[in-house]
Amino acid sequence: MAEILKIALPQIAPIWMHKEAGLGKVNDQIDQAAVEGANLIVFGEGCVPGYPFWLEGTGGAKFDDLMQKEIHAYYQQQAVCIEDGDLSSVCATLKRHQMAAYIGIIERPTSRTGFSLYCSYVYINPNGEIGSVHRKLMPTHEERLVWSIGDGHGLRTHKLGDFTLGGLNCWENWMPLARTALYGQGENLHIACWPGNVRNTIDTTPFMAKEGRSYAVGISCIMRREDVPMDMPYSKEIKATMPNMPADGGSCIAAPDGSWVLEPLVGVEGLRYACLDFNMVRMERQNFDPMGHYSRPDVLPLNLDQTRQTGMNIKS
The residues annotated as belonging to the active site are 45, 136, 170
Planar angle of CA 177, 179, 182, nearest 5 degrees: 110
**Amino acid, single-letter form, for residue 28:** D
Cα-Cα end-to-end distance for the chain: 47
Task: State the helix-helix crossing angle for 19-35 and 88-97, rounded to 10 degrees.
Answer: 0
Q: Where are the alpha helices (DSSP H) in the chain?
A: 19-35, 66-78, 88-97, 176-183, 198-212, 235-241, 279-284
Query: Rounded to the nearest 10 degrees, how much is the dihedral formed by the CA atoms of 179, 184, 189, 191?
Result: -30
- As a whole number of Å, the CA-based R_g of the chain is 19
Cβ pair 195, 44 in contact under 8 A = yes
**Amino acid, single-letter form, for residue 5:** L
Planar angle of CA 42, 78, 265, nearest 5 degrees: 30
Cβ pair 250, 197 in contact under 8 A = yes
Rounded Cα distance, 204 and 210, in Å? 10
Query: Who's near 156: CB < 8 A, 6+ residues apart?
Result: 123, 131, 132, 134, 166, 185, 306
